Amino acid sequence: MKQRLSAWAKAAIVRAIRTFAQTAIATIGVEAVIYNIDWLAVCSASLLASLLSLLTSLAGLPELKD
């Protein structure tokens, strides 16, 4: 049970970090088009996406074999 929880936590955190990075890159790209990057907006959007990723991971992760 402990190994399974550890594997889930590792996979969920990796997924959340990737989601954070992808959202940050996309938001910076959009903000750069208007020549003014709002770093607060970039961080808040990225953090929200990471939180949603973690919540989605509660339903299950396809990376983990049952």
User: Could you tell me the residue ranges of all domains in the chain?
Assistant: 2-57
Listed in sequence order, the residues at least 6 apart from 41 whose beta carbon sits closer than 8 Å to its beta carbon are 27, 31
Please give the pLDDT value at position 24: 94
Question: For residues 13 and 2, what is the distance between their CA atoms, to the nearest angstrom?
Answer: 16
Q: What is the pTM of this model?
A: 0.81
Walking along the chain (66 residues) 10 residues at a time, the average pLDDT comes out as: 86 93 91 82 94 89 72
Residue 27 corresponds to which amino acid? Answer: T
Please give the pLDDT value at position 66: 59
In this structure, are residues 1 and 57 in contact, taking their beta carbons and an 8 Å threshold? no
Question: For residues 62 and 56, what is the distance between their CA atoms, to the nearest angstrom?
Answer: 11
Please give the pLDDT value at position 22: 95
